[in-house]
Structure 1
């Protein structure tokens, strides 16, 4: 019978000690050299073919101008200008949002609706404005 020493190194000449058995290490030593972990790279690498989506600036501008036109519907000439500008910018923003890499079609639709809704009362106020001056002009005649 052989004595088993757990700290003895395997000896290829000794068949009583299996070479595949783990060899225990003495206390305080590590079996493998410790390597420091690699520092993570914080620089983002985009995927190949990936482009971030960009919001259409014309759609945003059309929506903002459409909201301002809704608020200023009682100013006759300015509201018509703002309303038609909102309609044009929103339409161009919706066309741009259909292209790959762009978003903002919803803002373009909102600007288009706001612009159309703002133009309708502006036309009514403007017709009332011109009708009022036309009626005042014919009542006085040339003498006024």
Structure 2
């Protein structure tokens, strides 16, 4: 018989040869691969699943914002005094709240407290000047003014 030529369609494929095993090689049974979970460990949690995210104190943020507004509006007599004391109170509450576990924002609370205290000082000076100006104008002019 001649060799197989794939370019001639009338030829047939040759029969595959039987594998020859040496008679001295023992035949072993193949066991299936079975995965079993480790009973001591159990399912592992995802990375970072045990940690809760930190919560920023809302009072600390509000105290800082109100303190900055109080610094900008120091020339308005009654409004600035009210905003300054409100900033001090909110920032104090924010400092207490940020000391609890899981909360953050102590730096913002301190900034709001400092801004509130700094805003109250010129507010008192402007308010005393405001009342002194009206008191001086009232005494010099009397009721007719």
- So what's the TM-score if we normalise by structure 2? 0.69
Q: Deviations over 1:85-122 (max 9, x none)?
A: 00000000000000000000000000000000000000
Distance in structure 2 (CA, Å) of the matches to 1:52 and 1:90:
22
User: What is the match of residue 115 of structure 2?
Assistant: 114
Deviation of the 1:51 alpha carbon: 1.5
Consecutive unaligned residues in structure 2, runs of 5 or more: 1-18, 28-45
Q: Measure the CA separation in 2 of the matches of 1:9 and 1:103.
A: 76
> Matches of 1:142 and 1:73 in 2, distance apart?
31
1:11-49 deviation digits (Å, cap 9, x = unpaired): 5x505xx98xxxxxxxxxxxxxxxxxxxxxxxx77533x
* Runs of 4+ residues over 6 Å off in structure 1: none
Over 3 Å counting, the alpha-carbon distance change for 1:9 and 1:104 in structure 2 is farther
- Over the aligned positions, Cα root-mean-square deviation in angstroms equals 2.4
User: How many residue pairs were aligned?
Assistant: 111
2:49 to 27, 47, 50: 47
- Quick one: distance in 1 between partners of 2:133 and 2:70? 23
3-state secondary structure, aligned to 2:95: helix
Cα distance in 1 for residues equivalent to 2:70 and 2:107: 18
Provide, for residues 38-97 of structure 1, a one-character-per-residue CA deviation record: whole Å limited to 9, x for no partner.
xxxxxx77533x221000000000000000000000000000010000000000000000
TM-score (norm 1): 0.69
Looking at structure 1, the residues matched to 130 and 99 of structure 2 have their Cα atoms a distance apart, in angstroms, of 40
